Amino acid sequence: MTQIIKEPTRVPTTSSSTLDVVVTTMPDKHIKTEVSSCGLSDHHLVYTVIGSQVPDQPSICRHYKSFNKAGFLYGLAESLDKLPDTVDCNFYWNILKNTIETVSNCHAPCKPHRVNARDNLWMKSEILSLMYQRDYIHSNAIKTKNNNKWNEYKLLRNKVVHSIANQQKIECKEDRRSNVKLTTEVVCGTVFVFSLFERLSHVSLQTTR
């Protein structure tokens, strides 16, 4: 076990001590750990940020690269050519659904497709636009083997990396401010409730007397 808080967490007027700690068996996973002064008490706010990688979310979609429209329509017509006579609508619906699915699997099979998880707070539209532009230039550079395209790709790649790093810093600062604000509101609300309870108790004692 490793204690990763290296600063005093309680700082009164005459001394300082580390009372609030964060103990972990994986200190390398904690990418940021800080002690923040809230200004409301001599106890400081302690927080840590644990780095985690969200795995890519696999999705299943149909592959239409070699789709044959005429063959698809012929397969549907051939499968639905002879149907038994019945008045059960559910029976016909199940046949139609299964037939469309079977014929679609022959002409447009389902294949797994990797979709990168981009629901991060720092993934803004400007960064996404840069990433798409970077990937497009990279694809052209591979096809054309043009040195100018490779240089343009490298510039865009570095720009994306720096943009992501800067946005992550901004989001971290905003998250820190919101946490401090929330802590302030909670403390103020608690103080107000206790003061109100004290006044009500005092009034109740006077009434009883």
pLDDT in tens, 98-120: 888 888 888 888 888 665 555 56
Q: How far is CA 144 from the centre of its chain?
A: 36
> Is there a contact between 60 and 110 (Cβ–Cβ < 8 Å)?
yes
> Is there a contact between 50 and 30 (Cβ–Cβ < 8 Å)?
yes
Taken as a whole, the chain contains a residue count of 209
Is residue 65 over pLDDT 60?
yes
In this structure, of 8-12, 62-66, 79-83, 89-93, the range with the lowest mean pLDDT score is 79-83
Q: Quote the pLDDT of residue 39.
A: 66
What band does 155 get if pLDDT is binned at 50, 70 and 90? very high
The three-state (H, E, C) secondary structure of 172-206, written as one string: HHHHHHHHHHHHHHHHHHHHHHHHHHHHHHHHHHH
- Report DSSP state, residue 97: H
Tokens of 119: 């629901």
